[in-house]
Amino acid sequence: EVQLVESGGGLVKPGGSLRLSCATSGFIFSDYTMNWVRQAPGRGLEWVASISGRSSYIYYADSVKGRFTISRDNAKDSLFLQMNSLRAEDTAVYFCVREEFSDYFDFWGQGTLVTVSS
């Protein structure tokens, strides 16, 4: 059974940093592109970043480029999102999402809440 479990969310002040983790199981992690998608309270879904299986290809949304860094540890079946220079508008639930071989998002984690507030 595919499982994606996010952790690392919490309350942080504007300008602060946070590192999210996504522990995975039930599939060959290194074979899959992984993504972070976020959802601000009461709002829609926003794709944040994507990383290919061997970390060869990495893409970011313009809204986080230069501040967030996506990475992965295939030996530990884990995905990460390092978030620096956080802003109030980064407040959201962050979902870890697996991208199937046809490029669509087939499995989502339950999400972790990040709140940026003074």
Partner 1 sequence: DIQMTQSPSSLSASLGDRVTITCRASQGISNFLAWFQQKPGRAPKSLMYAASTLASGVPSRFSGSGSETDFTLTISSLQPEDFATYYCQQYNNYPYTFGQGTKLESK
The reply on whether position 41 binds partner 1 by CB under 8 A is no
Residue 27 contacts partner 1 per CB under 8 A: no
**Residues between 98 and 117 that touch partner 1 (CB under 8 A):** 100, 102-111
Q: Does 56 bind partner 1 (CB under 8 A)?
A: no
Query: How far is residue 105's CA from residue 95's CA, in Å, rounded to a whole number?
Result: 11
Interface pick for partner 1 out of 9, 23, 30, 45 (rule CB under 8 A): 45
Q: Which of 46, 71, 78, 84 binds partner 1 (CB under 8 A)?
A: 46
Closest CB to partner 1 among 77 and 113? 113
Q: Pull the structure tokens for residue 10.
A: 């919490």
Which residue in the block uniquely carries the two structure tokens 């999400």?
111
> By CB under 8 A, what part of segment 57-96 binds partner 1?
59, 61-62, 95
Q: Which stretches of the chain bind partner 1, using CB under 8 A?
A: 35, 44-47, 50, 59, 61-62, 95, 100, 102-111
